[in-house]
Amino acid sequence: MNALYSFFSKYGTAFGFLLGVFVVIIFLVSIFLLGPQDSNAYSGGLEEFSYYDAIELEDRTDADKAALYSTPIFSPGIWTTRILLMVAFALAIILPLIYVIFNPKSIIKGAIWLVVIAVIFGLAWVLAPDNSGAVVKAVAENGVGDTANTFISAALSTAVWLVIGSFILAFAMEIWGLVKGS
């Protein structure tokens, strides 16, 4: 586990950059190298992409708009992004479990922070506004229930509070470093 940490702490930025370049290359290949496979379906190619892009927005017919929105030109990029997102979620769950197996003492600090975040979320849940404000129309249109709306409000509030707390903590640690260093 320490070898993996050392590798990514040394080469992680380059690895992430190269992975991003790989996704961009897959996307560009789908645009520049692939062409229409038959006259009824579109599977890529710069000609069709440029054609729909060249038509002014006001001059587009309903058929042009339907063809534009049904174009799978972005599909390889979207598929790759979805696959990488699933891999990232899986690794975000699996790697910490492996770390905990090899370092069981570390679970205490993680559990404490999990409880802190749960308390912050509980506080945000209690303070979540009842269906009021500018969000009411969107909630009604999308059929979001009261419990889901409260959960969404609490999750967003928790995220905002954690971001604000991280900025305050970073500022305080810098001040502490200045005071401690002098």
Q: Residues 99, 1: contact at Cβ < 8 Å?
A: yes
Note the pLDDT tens digit of each residue in 95-151: 888 888 888 887 888 888 889 999 999 998 888 776 655 566 677 777 777 777 788
Q: Tell me: do 56 and 124 sit in the same domain.
A: no
pLDDT band at 170 (very low <50, low <70, confident <90, very high): very high
**pLDDT value at residue 159:** 92
Q: Tell me: do 160 and 143 sit in the same domain.
A: yes
Alpha-carbon torsion (71, 77, 81, 87), positive or negative:
positive
**pLDDT value at residue 39:** 44
Contacts (Cβ under 8 Å, ≥6 apart) of 44: 30, 31, 33, 34, 35, 36, 72, 73, 76
Q: Tell me: do 30 and 92 sit in the same domain.
A: yes
Residue 180's Cβ-side half-sphere holds a number of Cα atoms within 13 Å equal to 6
Residue 32 has pLDDT above 90, yes or no: no
pLDDT band at 171 (very low <50, low <70, confident <90, very high): very high
Q: Which domain holds residue 153?
A: 105-182
Question: Which amino acid, residue 151?
Answer: F
Q: Tell me: do 3 and 56 sit in the same domain.
A: yes
For residue 132, CA distances in Å to 127, 128, 139, 148, 153 come to 13, 10, 10, 14, 11
The number of domains in the chain is 2
Report the greatest alpha carbon distance in the chain: 74
Residue 165 has pLDDT above 90, yes or no: yes
For residue 163, CA distances in Å to 60, 82, 88, 152, 156 come to 43, 26, 22, 17, 11
Q: Which helix (H) or strand (E) holds 15?
A: helix 2-32
**pLDDT value at residue 148:** 78
**pLDDT value at residue 38:** 46
**pLDDT value at residue 99:** 84
**pLDDT value at residue 64:** 61
Note the pLDDT tens digit of each residue in 35-94: 554 444 445 555 555 555 555 555 666 666 566 566 566 666 677 778 888 999 999 999
103, 119, 142 - which closes a domain: 103
Q: Tell me: do 88 and 131 sit in the same domain.
A: no
Residue 1: CB atoms within 10 A of its CB come to 11
Q: Tell me: do 149 and 168 sit in the same domain.
A: yes
pLDDT band at 181 (very low <50, low <70, confident <90, very high): confident
Q: What is the pTM of this model?
A: 0.45
46, 73, 103 - which closes a domain: 103
Contacts (Cβ under 8 Å, ≥6 apart) of 130: 146
